Structure 1
Amino acid sequence: MSIRPLTLAIALTFAAGLPGCTREAPPADSAPTAAAPAGDTTADAVPAPAEIAAKVAAYAEVPLTADLSHLSEGDRQAIDYLLQAGRIVDALFRRQVYGDLDGLLSTIDDPATRRFVEINYGPWDILDDHRPFVAGVGPRPPGARFYPADMTKEEFAAADLPGKDSPYTIIARDEAGALVVVPYHVEFADELHQVAALLLKAADVASDPKFADYLRLRADALLSGDYQPSDMAWMDMKDSPIDVVIGPIESYQDQLYGLKTAFEAFVLVKDIEWSARLQRFAQHLPALQRGLPVEDRYKAEMPGTDADLNAYFALYYGGDANAGAKTIAINLPNDEEVQLAKGSRRLQLENTMRAKFDTILVPIADALIDPSQRGRITFDAFFENVMFHEVAHGLGIKNTLDGRGTVREALTDLTASYEEGKADILGLYMIGALGGMGELDADKLDDNYVTFLAGIFRSVRFGAGSAHGQANMVAFNFLHERGAFARNAASGTWRVDFAKMREAVDALSAKILTLQGDGDYEAARAFRDQYGKVPAALQADLDALAAREIPVDIVLRQD
Structure 2
Amino acid sequence: MKKIPFYLAIASVVAIQASCGAPKTPQNEEPKEIKNDTLSKVVKARPEIYAKVALTTDINQLTENEKQVIPLLIEAARLMDEIFWKESIPENINVDLSTLTPDQKLFYQLNYGPWDRLDNFKSFVEGVGEKPLGANFYPADITKAEFEAMSAPDKASLYTIVRRDSSNNLITIPYHQFFKEQVMAADVLEKAAKLTEDKELKKYLTLRAEALRTDKYDPSDIAWLNMQNNTLDLIIGPIENYEDRLYGYKATHEAYVLVKDKVWSEKLKKYVTYLQELQENLPVDATYKSEKPGTDAQLNAYDVVYYAGDCNGGSKTIAVNLPNDEAIQKSVGTRRSQLKNAMRAKFDQILIPISEVLIHESQRKNITFDAFFANTMFHEVAHGLGVKNTIDGKQTVREALKEKYSALEEGKADILGLYMIHQLHGKQVYTDGELMDNYVTFMASIFRSVRFGAASAHGQANMVRFNFFKEKGAFVFNEDKTYSVDFDKMTDAMNELSAIILKLQGDGDYDGVVKLLETKGGIDDQLKTDLQKLNDAGIPVDIYFEQGVEALGLN
Give the TM bin, normalised by the shorter chain.
Answer: over 0.9
1:256/1:392 Cα in 2 relative to 1: closer, same or farther (>3 Å)? same
User: Are positions 1:460 and 2:450 aligned together?
Assistant: yes
1:112 aligns to what? 103
Q: What runs of 5+ residues in structure 1 fail to find an aligned partner?
A: 1-8, 19-27
The letter for the 1-side match of 2:309 is G
Contact 1:16–1:91 (CA<8 Å) still a contact in 2?
A: no
User: Are positions 1:375 and 2:341 aligned together?
Assistant: no
* 1:206 CA drift (Å): 2.2
Deviation by residue 1:86-124 (Cα, 9 ceiling, x = unmatched): 111111110111168997353324111111101101000
* 1:207 CA drift (Å): 3.1
- RMSD over aligned CA atoms reads 2.1
Alignment counterpart, residue 541 of structure 1, candidates 502, 505, 530: 530
2:427 aligns to what? 437
Contact 1:75–1:205 (CA<8 Å) still a contact in 2?
A: no
**SS of residue paired to 1:30:** strand
Contact 1:101–1:122 (CA<8 Å) still a contact in 2?
A: no
**SS of residue paired to 2:451:** helix
* 1:210 CA drift (Å): 1.7
Give matches, 1:387-536, under 5 Å: 387-441=377-431, 444-488=434-478, 490-536=479-525
* 1:198 CA drift (Å): 1.0
Give, in whole Å, the separation in 2 of the partners of 1:105 and 1:477: 42
Give, in whole Å, the separation in 1 of the partners of 2:3 and 2:386: 38
Alignment counterpart, residue 306 of structure 2, candidates 299, 316, 337: 316
1:30 aligns to what? 15
Give, in whole Å, the separation in 1 of the partners of 2:135 and 2:193: 33
Contact 2:350–2:542 (CA<8 Å) still a contact in 1?
A: yes
Alignment counterpart, residue 42 of structure 2, candidates 46, 50, 61: 46
Give matches, 1:56-75, under 5 Å: 56-75=47-66
Contact 1:170–1:184 (CA<8 Å) still a contact in 2?
A: yes
Deviation by residue 1:51-81 (Cα, 9 ceiling, x = unmatched): 42xx111211111111121222222222111
Contact 2:19–2:33 (CA<8 Å) still a contact in 1?
A: no
The letter for the 2-side match of 1:84 is E
Give, in whole Å, the separation in 1 of the partners of 2:469 and 2:501: 13
Normalization by structure 1: what TM-score?
A: 0.92
Give matches, 1:294-309, under 5 Å: 294-309=284-299
Give matches, 1:97-108, under 5 Å: 97-98=88-89, 104=95, 106-108=97-99
**SS of residue paired to 1:107:** helix
Give, in whole Å, the separation in 2 of the partners of 1:39 and 1:124: 17
1:22 aligns to what? none
Runs of 4+ in 1 over 6 A off after TM superposition: 36-40, 100-103
Deviation by residue 1:423-448 (Cα, 9 ceiling, x = unmatched): 00000010011112221128611110
User: Are positions 1:242 and 2:232 aligned together?
Assistant: yes
* 1:231 CA drift (Å): 1.1
* 1:201 CA drift (Å): 1.4
**SS of residue paired to 1:41:** helix
Normalization by structure 2: what TM-score?
A: 0.93
2:252 aligns to what? 262
Contact 1:17–1:91 (CA<8 Å) still a contact in 2?
A: no
* 1:10 CA drift (Å): 9.2
**SS of residue paired to 1:439:** coil
**SS of residue paired to 1:258:** coil
1:350 aligns to what? 340
Identity of counterpart residues, as a percentage? 50
User: Are positions 1:230 and 2:220 aligned together?
Assistant: yes
User: Are positions 1:326 and 2:322 aligned together?
Assistant: no
Give, in whole Å, the separation in 2 of the partners of 1:29 and 1:553: 26
Contact 1:59–1:551 (CA<8 Å) still a contact in 2?
A: yes
The letter for the 2-side match of 1:177 is N
1:439/1:11 Cα in 2 relative to 1: closer, same or farther (>3 Å)? farther
User: Are positions 1:125 and 2:110 aligned together?
Assistant: no
The letter for the 1-side match of 2:19 is A
* 1:39 CA drift (Å): 6.8
Give, in whole Å, the separation in 2 of the partners of 1:39 and 1:277: 56
**Higher deviation after alignment, 135-144 or 64-73:** 64-73
Alignment counterpart, residue 95 of structure 1, candidates 79, 86, 100: 86
Contact 1:378–1:447 (CA<8 Å) still a contact in 2?
A: yes
Give, in whole Å, the separation in 1 of the partners of 2:34 and 2:312: 35
Give, in whole Å, the separation in 2 of the partners of 1:12 and 1:304: 41
1:277 aligns to what? 267
User: Are positions 1:187 and 2:183 aligned together?
Assistant: no
**SS of residue paired to 2:187:** helix
* 1:417 CA drift (Å): 0.3
* 1:179 CA drift (Å): 0.3
Contact 1:171–1:180 (CA<8 Å) still a contact in 2?
A: yes
User: Are positions 1:553 and 2:542 aligned together?
Assistant: yes
The letter for the 2-side match of 1:185 is H
Give, in whole Å, the separation in 2 of the partners of 1:39 and 1:407: 36
* 1:277 CA drift (Å): 0.7
1:3 aligns to what? none
Q: What runs of 5+ residues in structure 2 fail to find an aligned partner?
A: 21-31
* 1:383 CA drift (Å): 0.5
* 1:466 CA drift (Å): 1.5
1:67/1:39 Cα in 2 relative to 1: closer, same or farther (>3 Å)? closer
**SS of residue paired to 2:58:** coil
Give, in whole Å, the separation in 2 of the partners of 1:507 and 1:444: 23
Give, in whole Å, the separation in 2 of the partners of 1:311 and 1:396: 24
